Each structure stands twice: as C-alpha cells, then as structure tokens.
A = this chain, B = another copy of it.
Amino acid sequence: MDVMNFLNEVTSRYPEAISFGPGRPYEGLFEVERIGYYLDAYTRHLSEDLGRTPDEVRTLLFQYGRTNGQIHELVARALHNDEGIETDPESLVVTVGCQEGMFLTLRALFRDPSDVLLVSSPCYVGITGAARLLDIETVHVPEGERGADPEALRRTVAALRAEGKRPRALYVVPDFSNPTGTCLPLPTRHQLLSMAEEEDLLLLEDNPYGFFTRTGTGLPTLKALDRRRRVIYLGSFAKTCFPGARVGYVVADQLVQAADGSRTFLADELSKIKGMVTVNTPALSQAVIGGMLLTHDFRLRAANKPAADFYQQNLAVLLDSLDRLLPAERREAAGISWNAPEGGFFLTLTLPVPADNALLERSAREHGVIWTPMRCFYPDDGGGRSQMRLSLSYLTPEHIAEGARRLAGLLEECCV
C-alpha cells in the first residue's frame, strides 16, 4: 500500500505529468443527460413489460429491495447474449460494484483458518485487500508469460495440502488481466477447469476487460466453458457501463445445503451476508444500469464497440510509439521489453533497472510522465521490482503519444 500512496502523492505533486497510472475508463463517452433517459427506460420496462402499477414502480425505486437485486433477470439476458453464459437469474447476486462481489464471495467460502486463497502473482489489489480484511491467507502463485500457470498451481496446491492447509479457490482474470494485460490461451482455460475439478477448487473468474479486444470476439470465459459449476463469475459494469453506478454482480450457481437441509444456490448464502453489509444494492444504480441493458437490447459488447475501438486505438498508439522510439535492436541491447496484449487496459514494461519510488519520482519530475510500479501487485517480498504497469484507458491518443515520448526519454536516460 505504501507504493500506492507514493504514487498518489507523486501524482498530486506533478499535476502536469501525463499519467499511465489510473485504470479508470475513459470519460469522453459518458453523457450526463443520458441518466434520466436510462431511468425512464427502466421504469417503462417495469410498467409496460412487467405490468407493474405506478405504486409498485415507486416501491421498487424508493424502498428497501430484494437483497440479491432487482435487475438479475436483465443481467442474465446480457450474459447469455454477450458471453454465451447460461445462468439461472436466481443464482445471480447484484452487488455494489464487483468489489462487494469479491468480498461476499470470500466471506461465504472461507470459514476455516486452514482455508487458503490462491492468486496469480502479480494480482489485482482488490481481491488481496478484501482477503486481508477477512484475515484470509493468500498464496501468490507466479504466472508465466501467458498468465496463470496450471503446473505451478498444481504444485502449490500439493504443497499446501502437505502442510495441512486447504486451497479453496483460485482468483483469476483470464482476459487482459490487471496488472499485466495477459490473456489466458484457450487450452490453459480448459486445463484450469480440469484442475479445479480434480483438486476440488473453485475458480473466481473476474472479467472487467473482456469486451475490449482487438479482434472483437475474444475467447470464451471460464464460466462459459464451465460444465461442473466450478466457476464463480465476478461481473462488473464499471468499464462497460460506468464506475459511478457501483453495480457489479456474482454468478454463484453452486449448490449448497441450506440450514433447513434443502439445496440452494451459493448465491443465497452471499445474499445473507450482503444483508449485513449493504442490505441491497441501491435501486437507483440498478435502475440506470437496467435502463442501459434495455436500451442496448441486452448486448453490451455491441454497445461498447466505440469504447473498445477507442481503447484499441490507444493500445496501438502506445505500442507503435514505443516501437518507433525504442526499436527492437536498441531495446534488446538495453534489456528493455514490453508485452503486446490483444486488448484490455494495461501492458507491462520491463527495465534493466529497478522501477522503484526513486525512479517514479525522477520520471515525474524530470520527464513529466507517471506509471505504476509493478511491485504494487506483488506481496511485499515478491517480484515485479523492475517492471511498470502502463494503463492506456484514461488518456487520449494524443496524450498517449506524448506520454510514450516522455517515457522513452526516461528509458534512454537510465537504461540505454
């Protein structure tokens, strides 16, 4: 967390610097005027499609609501269209952002001190932070060039079992992961599913960036391939609709035994926990996201084409600029490299020198460019010490080009 604080501090001290730091979505595509439109679309749906009376519509918008949410059927339709995920709406919990979804899922699954959460290393800080809050032991498993490594995972599981621990679940972002930008190949997805079945693990699949691909189609999610209910799918509308709504969801279709002996969805367990955390997801937020789903005919992937094009352009500008400024021979000689993701918000740049606070400070002060030290995403004693995460989502193409020029200046100075 200290690295993150330092990053924030540097950002506020050098407001003129171009920042490859924030993983926020681009704002230029948001329109304040549309909020009312989406709200209307949702209330029209309630009255015209579902036959709700005006009093019932009022209750749905203003009153305490169903703990698991009121737009679960709409979300299930979008999952069918966009991801080929078939899900019973009753197995879906609408949450206050994906973060609450992670929190509820961890709280529901991890009850014994011997339960261990596996994460790929490096890893998104939202899941490790939630685990820390719940005193859940987290074990980082190094990932390879192409993301999660099933063999390393299998060895880790065996070692943990030998210690008397119970690896309970693996958190994974198969599509353009935060922070590295890697995308899990299809065979690895199948391997993870097989391993989950063999090792009695659950896979917590987080998928905020799947729509933002160069190819436009992408690979099937783990959940779409899941035949054994091994995958808990953590959904987010932060990047595909907007973050300020704070609406996410969890598909938890695993069958569990309820207190009275009947079988229910794991979603119902999450719901009980949610009742004691936020009671229910705000109706207004659900209504606006519901209105967006209705307006776009439950096809958010298509609706996000302009956003996907924008991010793809940024990615192309960044990769092209870096390649032009630091041609292959020159960067190889210097020990500089970067990956070339097919989509998403992030890429990883590797240096021959530490990408630490001192370099970040110098980068901001002398070159006017900011980035995230990759070690933020490792445990304290972990790796990433000579890597940076570059985020391309929040800048315009012009700023990306200029930022790449500044970054190359830094790299020329300290590495070449």
A residues contacting B by CB (< 8 A) are 2, 24-25, 27, 30-32, 35-36, 39, 43, 54-55, 57-65, 96-97, 99-100, 103, 107, 126, 129-130, 132-133, 238, 242-247, 259, 273, 275-285, 288
Contact = CB atoms under 8 A, between A and B. Distances in A.
8 closest Cβ pairs, A-B complex: A244-B283, A129-B276, A246-B282, A30-B62, A96-B278, A62-B242, A62-B244, A64-B243
Contacts of A54: 32
Q: Chain A: interface secondary structure? A: helix
Nearest to A129: B276
A345 B247 CA distance: 31
Nearest to A288: B284
Contacts of A63: 24-25, 27, 242-244
A103 B276 contact: yes
A65 B244 contact: yes
A246 B25 CA distance: 25
Nearest to A126: B276
A55 B126 CA distance: 28
A62 to B, nearest CB: 4
Contact of A100 (B61, B97, B130, B278): B278
A135 to B, nearest CB: 9
Given A97-B279, A246-B279, 4 more contacts: A24-B64, A25-B63, A96-B282, A247-B282
A145 B77 CA distance: 54
25 contacts: A24-B63, A24-B64, A25-B63, A27-B55, A30-B58, A30-B62, A31-B58, A32-B62, A36-B39, A62-B243, A64-B238, A64-B244, A65-B244, A99-B276, A129-B276, A132-B276, A244-B282, A244-B284, A245-B284, A246-B281, A246-B282, A284-B284, A284-B285, A284-B288, A285-B285
Contacts of A282: 96, 244-247, 282, 284-285
A133 B276 contact: yes
Contact of A277 (B39, B61, B133, B259): B133
B243 A278 contact: no
Contacts of A58: 27, 30-32
A366 to B, nearest CB: 26
A31 B329 CA distance: 67
Contacts of A277: 99-100, 103, 130, 133, 277
A107 B129 CA distance: 14
- Name the residue among A59, A62, A103 with the largest chain B CB count within 10 angstroms: A62
Given A275-B129, A276-B133, A62 B27 contact: yes
B43 A61 contact: no
Contacts of A99: 276-279
A54 B33 CA distance: 11
A100 B55 CA distance: 28
Contact of A32 (B43, B107, B244): B43
A187 to B, nearest CB: 34
- Name the residue among A97, A132, A288 with the largest chain B CB count within 10 angstroms: A97
A53 B245 CA distance: 21
Nearest to A131: B276
A57 B60 CA distance: 27
Given A27-B55, A96-B96, A133-B107, A35 B284 contact: yes
Contacts of A259: 2
A103 B59 CA distance: 26
Nearest to A132: B276
A64 B394 CA distance: 12
Contacts of A245: 282-284
A30 B63 CA distance: 9
